[in-house]
Amino acid sequence: MAKTVEYEGYTIHSTPQYQTDSAQWRLRIVISFKGHQGVRTREFSSEVLYATEQEADIHGATFGQRLIDGKVEGQSVLEMRTEERRAMPRLRVQFRTTFSDSTRLEGSGIMLDLSTGGCRIESPVLMVPGFSLELRIHVPDLDWPLMIEAASLQWVSGQTFGLAFIRIRDAERQRLGQVISDLMEDESTAG
């Protein structure tokens, strides 16, 4: 059904997900903002379930407007409007990475750079901005892959695409921070 609404310079795209276990619909929206650096997107969802897809669509649009108005505690879209200033430099890497989305897209590629907030991957898999992916980053010295629960596809250029990390568990965020500080240390001793 997917409903799209323009609001305060943002685009709210509602894409409810059908929950087979409860036979209900979960509210899920993608908010995008077109700025000087292209289109930025973020995905939001709610634990609230609705009886129909239409109901989830309507509530999705309202939820998106409340987010944009800054009325949803703990969540904001303000950073989408700010010019990108990397707090953390992206570090050049070559990590094998596998990814999947909520439908059936699965693929793998090579991560070319990494920061605490995102990464750049090269892969033959055809991508579309706005997708939300789950990532498994295979860092050579780690016992098991780093897990990023949700990363929003920001841009695509040929076989390369950029991702912004949206959702990552605290334990994984700590592991990511350790990998980055190890890489920075390696870089400073090598240079």
Percent of the chain with pLDDT over 70: 90
Q: What's the whole-number average pLDDT of the chain?
A: 85
CATH of the domain at 126: 2.40.10.220
pTM for the model stands at 0.55
Is residue 1 predicted with pLDDT exceeding 60? no
- Of the candidates 52, 80, 108, which is a domain's last residue? 80
Provide the domain count of the chain.
Answer: 2
> Quick one: pLDDT at residue 188?
72
CATH of the domain at 65: 3.30.160.350
> Quick one: pLDDT at residue 69?
83
* Gyration radius of the chain over CA positions: 18
As to burial, measured by CB atoms within 10 angstroms (0-12 exposed, 13-18 middle, 19+ buried), residue 10 is buried
> Quick one: pLDDT at residue 85?
47
The predicted-structure confidence for 74-121, as pLDDT tens digits, reads as follows: 777 766 665 444 555 678 999 999 999 877 778 999 999 998 889 999
Select from 92, 97, 75 the least CA-distant residue to 147.
97
Per the domain annotation, does 85 fall within a domain?
Answer: no
* Full domain range(s) for residue 19: 3-80
Is residue 189 predicted with pLDDT exceeding 50? yes
- Same domain membership, residue 101 and residue 17: no
- Same domain membership, residue 152 and residue 108: yes
- Of the candidates 60, 80, 100, which is a domain's last residue? 80
> Quick one: pLDDT at residue 171?
93
The predicted-structure confidence for 31-80, as pLDDT tens digits, reads as follows: 888 876 677 888 888 888 999 999 999 899 899 998 888 887 777 776 66
Beta bridge partners of 157: 160
> Quick one: pLDDT at residue 37?
65
Q: What is the rounded average pLDDT of the residues 3-17? A: 88
